[in-house]
Amino acid sequence: MADACFPASSRISALNCIDLSDSDIRKSVSLLKQACLDCGFFYVINHGISQEFMDEVFAQSKRFFDLPTEEKMKVLRNEKHRGYTPVLDEILDPDNQVHGDYKEGYYIGVEVPENDPQAEKPFYGPNVWPSADLLPGWRQTMEKYHQKALGVAKAVARVIALALDLDGDFFDKPEMLGEPIATLRLLHYEGRASNPANGIYGAGAHSDYGLITLLATDDVLGLQICKDKDAQPQVWEYVAPLKGAFVVNLGDMLERWSNGVFRSTLHRVVVDGQERYSIAYFVEPSHECLVECLPTCKSETNPPKFPPVKCGTYLSQRYIDTHVDLSTYQKHQA
């Protein structure tokens, strides 16, 4: 942890930009493939979600995080990872962080009724919602955004499939994105200045767990990526906010599927004391999906590098590893 808090000449990463409205699919595939080989991050523009609606989602997110702590704790996350996550609830880089992440969040998954057989599985079940009297219209806004973001994710997944020499609808199968574990997470960095030299981060260094992540941000700089996690010292570059765009990054499951051809890249959040809001949309295949090396990514000279794993098993362990045990809060509230 030798890097300074905020170097005078901060690096800004140059990312490829994929236009989902471009009729030249070969151009989009080429740009995306190069981004996936290079750093696993890229922008997506003209994705079909209006700026007006994005502004409304951010406004509604702020309304929730502006509530008193005791109101937010009434919707504390449950064992299905739905609901509010307080500051320091998550520690993503325990080797380098002295505390957890200096951010608070709110998980919203695919709505599954309590009496649905699917609800017996991890990551499936009803969502936890703030009172409609307290935040009228809040649930409706978030459910609408959840639906729209899934449509964008599926469009991006089709370009990824083509970049991996697969059929464009490869990820549309029911066991994959036909019945996904898609999770919307509102995030708020309350302004605690990061100091990497002292182990203080908005969000510690990590790679995402699933297939892809769509990230919408405000205009406050904070997200950093490390293109080569094995380099010594590691080199961190900021990803500049781009109005109207999603920042898209690849998750660990896509790295496993692609046999390491496409990379899941380390990233973190380092803030300078300003408040920052972002909205992450994590897209994973269904609980039962077996993630194993794709046929186009292996050969006799390049055998599979990762053993097959069920999506639900992998996700459950990653969440256990990075979140505070819920019993900790129950003790405090007793």
Q: Is the bond leading into 233 cis (omega within 30 degrees of zero)?
A: yes
CATH code at position 225: 2.60.120.330
Q: Is residue 59 part of a domain?
A: yes
Q: Is residue 2 part of a domain?
A: no
Position 27 pLDDT exceeds 70:
yes
Whether 239 and 223 have beta carbons less than 8 Å apart is answered as yes
| Residue 229 zone, left/alpha/beta (φ > 0; ψ -120 to 50; rest) | alpha
Closest CA to 46 of 29, 25, 16, 21: 21
Question: What pLDDT is attached to residue 119?
Answer: 83
Question: What pLDDT is attached to residue 245?
Answer: 97
Question: What pLDDT is attached to residue 332?
Answer: 52
CB atoms within 10 A of CB 307: 9
pLDDT band for position 330 (cuts 50, 70, 90): low
Q: Specify the amino acid at residue 145.
A: Y
Q: Is residue 79 part of a domain?
A: yes
Whether 32 and 18 have beta carbons less than 8 Å apart is answered as yes
Q: Is residue 5 part of a domain?
A: no
Question: What pLDDT is attached to residue 4?
Answer: 38
Q: Is residue 54 part of a domain?
A: yes
Residues 247-264 have pLDDT tens digits of 999 999 999 999 999 989
Question: What pLDDT is attached to residue 5?
Answer: 45
Q: Is residue 267 part of a domain?
A: yes
More confident residue, 116 or 153: 153
Q: State which residues form the domain around 116.
A: 17-333
Question: How many structural domains are present in the chain?
Answer: 1
- Taken as a whole, the chain contains a residue count of 334
Q: Is residue 177 part of a domain?
A: yes
Total-model pTM:
0.93
The 10 Å CB-count burial string (b at 16+, else e) for 134-170 is ebeebbebbeebbebbbebbbebbbbbbbbbebeeeb
Q: Is residue 93 part of a domain?
A: yes
Question: What pLDDT is attached to residue 131?
Answer: 96
Structure tokens at 95: 């080797």
Q: For the chain, state the CA radius of gyration.
A: 19
